[in-house]
Amino acid sequence: MDRAEVDTKIRSLIEPFNKKGIAVMDETTFQNDLEFDSLTVMDFVAEIEDEFDIIISMNQQAEIENYGQLVDAVTKLQAD
Amino acid sequence: MSEGISQPDQPQALEGEGKDLFSKFDDVIALREGLLSSGQEDPFNLVMEKVLSPTRAICNGRDTILLGTYNYMGMTFDPDVVEAGKQALSDFGTGTTGSRVLNGTYQGHKEVEQALMDFYEMDHAMVFSTGYQANLGIISTIAGKGDYIVLDIDSHASIWDGCALGQAEVVPFKHNDIEAMEKRLKRIPEGAGKLVILEGVYSMLGDVAPLKEMVAVAKKYGAMVLVDEAHSMGFIGENGRGVVEDAGVIDDVDFIIGTFSKSVGTVGGFCVSNHPKFEIMRLVCRPYVFTASLPPSVVATACTSIRKLMHGSNKRAHLWENSKALHKGLKDLGFKLGTEEPQSAIIAVIMPDLQQGAAMWEALIQGGLYVNLARPPATPANMTLLRCSLCAEHSEEEVGEILSIFEKAGKQVGII
């Protein structure tokens, strides 16, 4: 799956978590813009992990602050 | 999840602004000031001027029933336990002033480790200075860089801190969700070291883990299993060995972590294991090596208490009666509880919000009852909880008294 396809998939997965309907761009941050708390992060990460059959460990999550970084990371992880 | 009153168990990276390194705590300071400015009695600054028994104390000047301690088996004033402590204090002095691996191992430390091996019928026991350090030490030492830790998202702070210290890859799953746990284990790269961490009883809601199923899944994927039985020791299982015993999986788990600061009635932590190489931990586990060992009086009281807990079946039965009576009574009064049925000695009463939870806590303490107020972010799903933890020494009458204090306070605050 290339980056654009991963982006499309994640965009549909993020929708139910994007309670305020914020326009999601590569620079959109999970903590400040989308206001995800730790439980939301867990549920959202679980959705992505199940969809792509990957693990995003908390150590890796710590490096991911915005949407673009997430798409990059998932693109790389699912290709491995 | 645990007693962190104003912080989540899972560590967070806070960012400071400017030069004052304390600026990162401004939100917590504001929250606390907001709560206290309403004239609310501070739930996190209670002083016990006198402790009358395992279930009674003079708190902030009032005679109070204690329903928020972890003194499950009521061992703190047991005459044999107190006597053993006094004797050790006279014979061995006030402290060891040294590490377990240097000058800090006395006869008493070996005796308490033998008591643990006998209690659990396991080959090895290692005693740490606190329960926190037991988790910190064992987890960080066995799961290092490149290894994977799969753990419940509601794990205690000491477990999270152990994971962080060891730098393993940390993969959490939804609380008590067997399927979510299996999915994560399945995806771990082949050849990587795997450790599954579970708790017998989760202390916030007092619910137990489905250990029979979870341990079987962990073994299926070749993971080692560590179970924290801090809140079940002495009480759950035929011999008080915890949920692992009750679920019939004690022989399948690799490590049991426990504490002396709950049912045992003093302070200290431990790990028991049948792993053939376990003893090497004494040399390689930093939180064991780089701290002073427990004072002789503490290990003597712990040893005596553990040996008495082996024969505590009557007390266990009474504690179950108390747990069932309180759960039913609170439910009948109309309170919302953390579990449908009583699963442990902890009964969590769910409050509508922090404001009403704090008001309820104050009404209870003024009525002569101490419970734990637990609030976000230390709680699951951001709940505000009044956590009640029962003691085998609470009498049937006291449980009745507790229920009437709850009824009065609940009506006063308007929750029921």
Q: For B158-183, write each residue's pLDDT tens digit.
A: 999 999 999 999 999 999 999 999 99
Task: Kindly list the distances between the CA atom of residue B355 and the CA atoms of A23, B217, B291, in Å, as whole numbers in the listed order.
Answer: 34, 42, 41
Among B27-36, B135-144, B190-199, which stretch is predicted with the lowest mean pLDDT?
B27-36
Q: At B155, which CATH number?
A: 3.40.640.10
The answer to whether residue B7 sits within a structural domain is no
Task: Answer whether residue B37 shows pLDDT above 90.
Answer: no
> What is the predicted pLDDT for the residue at A80?
80
Q: What's the whole-number mean pLDDT along residues B212-228?
A: 98
> What is the predicted pLDDT for the residue at B28?
86
DSSP-derived pairing of the beta strands B224-228 and B207-208: unpaired
Query: Between residues B387 and A38, which one has the greater pLDDT?
Result: B387
Residue ending a domain, choose from B252, B280, B309: B309
Whether residue B408 sits in one domain with residue B273: no
Residue B371: name the closest of B339, B403, B343, B342 by CA: B403
B188 interface with A at CB cutoff 8 Å = yes
Q: Percent of chain B at pLDDT above 70?
A: 98
Min distance A29 CA to chain B CA atoms (Å): 15
Task: Answer whether residue B14 shows pLDDT above 80.
Answer: no
Task: Answer whether residue B274 shows pLDDT above 80.
Answer: yes
Min distance B149 CA to chain A CA atoms (Å): 9
Q: B137 is written with which tokens?
A: 């030490």
B10 interface with A at CB cutoff 8 Å = yes
> What is the predicted pLDDT for the residue at A71?
97
| Beta carbons of A42 and B174 less than 8 Å apart | yes
Q: How confident is the model at residue B17 (pLDDT cuts 50, 70, 90)?
A: low
Q: At B382, which CATH number?
A: 3.90.1150.10
> What is the predicted pLDDT for the residue at B287?
97
Task: Answer whether residue B99 shows pLDDT above 80.
Answer: yes
Whether residue B179 sits in one domain with residue B165: yes
The answer to whether residue B231 sits within a structural domain is yes
Whether residue B166 sits in one domain with residue B85: yes
For residue A54, give the chain B residue with the closest CA.
B187
Whether residue B386 sits in one domain with residue B324: yes
Angle CA B359–B381–B219, to nearest 5: 135
Whether residue B303 sits in one domain with residue B214: yes
Whether residue B92 sits in one domain with residue B50: no
Contacts of A50 in chain B (CB under 8 A): 183
Q: At A45, which CATH number?
A: 1.10.1200.10
> What is the predicted pLDDT for the residue at B12?
75
> What is the predicted pLDDT for the residue at B2?
57
A63 interface with B at CB cutoff 8 Å = no
Residue ending a domain, choose from B292, B309, B326: B309
Whether residue B116 sits in one domain with residue B248: yes
Question: Does the CA dihedral B326-B332-B335-B340 come out positive or negative?
Answer: positive
The answer to whether residue B269 sits within a structural domain is yes
Q: Report pLDDT digits (tens) over B357-392.
A: 999 999 999 999 999 999 887 788 889 999 999 999
Whether residue B405 sits in one domain with residue B298: no
Give chain A's domain count: 1
Min distance A57 CA to chain B CA atoms (Å): 5
How many residues are listed for chain A in this entry?
A: 80
Residue A55: name the closest of A65, A45, A44 by CA: A45
Helix B396-413, helix B354-366: angle, nearest 10: 130
SS3 string, chain B, reads CCCCCCCCCCCCCCCCCCCCHHHHHHHHHHHHHHHHCCCCCCCCCCCEEEEEECCEEEECCEEEEECECCCCCCCCCCHHHHHHHHHHHHHHCCCCCCECCCCCCCHHHHHHHHHHHHHHCCCEEEEECCHHHHHHHHHHHHCCCCCEEEEECCCCHHHHHHHHHHCCEEEEECCCCHHHHHHHHHHCCCCCCEEEEEECEECCCCEECCHHHHHHHHHHCCCEEEEECCCCCCCCCCCCCCHHHHCCCCCCCCEEEEECCCCCCCCCEEEEECCCCHHHHHHHCHHHHCCECCCHHHHHHHHHHHHHHCCCHHHHHHHHHHHHHHHHHHHHHCCEECCCCCCCCEEEEEECCHHHHHHHHHHHHHCCEECEEECCCCCHHHCEEEEEECCCCCCHHHHHHHHHHHHHHHHHHCCC
Give the domain extent around B272. 79-309
Min distance A38 CA to chain B CA atoms (Å): 9
Residue B171: name the closest of B231, B205, B218, B206 by CA: B218
Contacts of B153 in chain A (CB under 8 A): 39, 42
Task: Answer whether residue B313 shows pLDDT above 90.
Answer: yes
DSSP state of A2: -
d(Cα B378, Cα B25) in Å, to the nearest integer?
16
Whether residue B175 sits in one domain with residue B140: yes
Give chain B's domain count: 2
| Beta carbons of A38 and B170 less than 8 Å apart | no
> What is the predicted pLDDT for the residue at B236?
97
Q: How confident is the model at residue B18 (pLDDT cuts 50, 70, 90)?
A: low
Residue B360: name the closest of B400, B388, B401 by CA: B388
Whether residue B161 sits in one domain with residue B101: yes
Whether residue B231 sits in one domain with residue B359: no
Contacts of B170 in chain A (CB under 8 A): 57-59
Contacts of B172 in chain A (CB under 8 A): 42, 58
| Beta carbons of B172 and A58 less than 8 Å apart | yes
Min distance B188 CA to chain A CA atoms (Å): 7
- Name residue, tokens 């009463």: B349
A47 interface with B at CB cutoff 8 Å = no
Among A30-44, B317-331, B394-408, which stretch is predicted with the lowest mean pLDDT?
A30-44
Q: How confident is the model at residue B42 (pLDDT cuts 50, 70, 90)?
A: confident
| Beta carbons of B10 and A54 less than 8 Å apart | no
> What is the predicted pLDDT for the residue at B16?
63
Task: Answer whether residue B59 shows pLDDT above 70.
Answer: yes
Residue ending a domain, choose from B286, B309, B332: B309
Taking all residues of chain B, what is their mean pLDDT, rounded to a whole number? 95
Residue B405: name the closest of B329, B343, B345, B292 by CA: B329
Q: How confident is the model at residue A2 (pLDDT cuts 50, 70, 90)?
A: very high
Complex ipTM value: 0.92
B411 interface with A at CB cutoff 8 Å = no
d(Cα B129, Cα B104) in Å, to the nearest integer?
11
> What is the predicted pLDDT for the residue at B5?
62
> What is the predicted pLDDT for the residue at B366?
95
For residue A55, give the chain B residue with the closest CA.
B187
| Beta carbons of A46 and B148 less than 8 Å apart | no
Whether residue B112 sits in one domain with residue B94: yes
What does pTM read for this prediction?
0.94
Burial B10-24 (b: 16+ CB within 10 A, else e): beeeeeeeeeeeeee
d(Cα B34, Cα B336) in Å, to the nearest integer?
26
> What is the predicted pLDDT for the residue at B4?
65
Give the domain extent around A36. 3-79
Task: Answer whether residue B269 shows pLDDT above 60.
Answer: yes
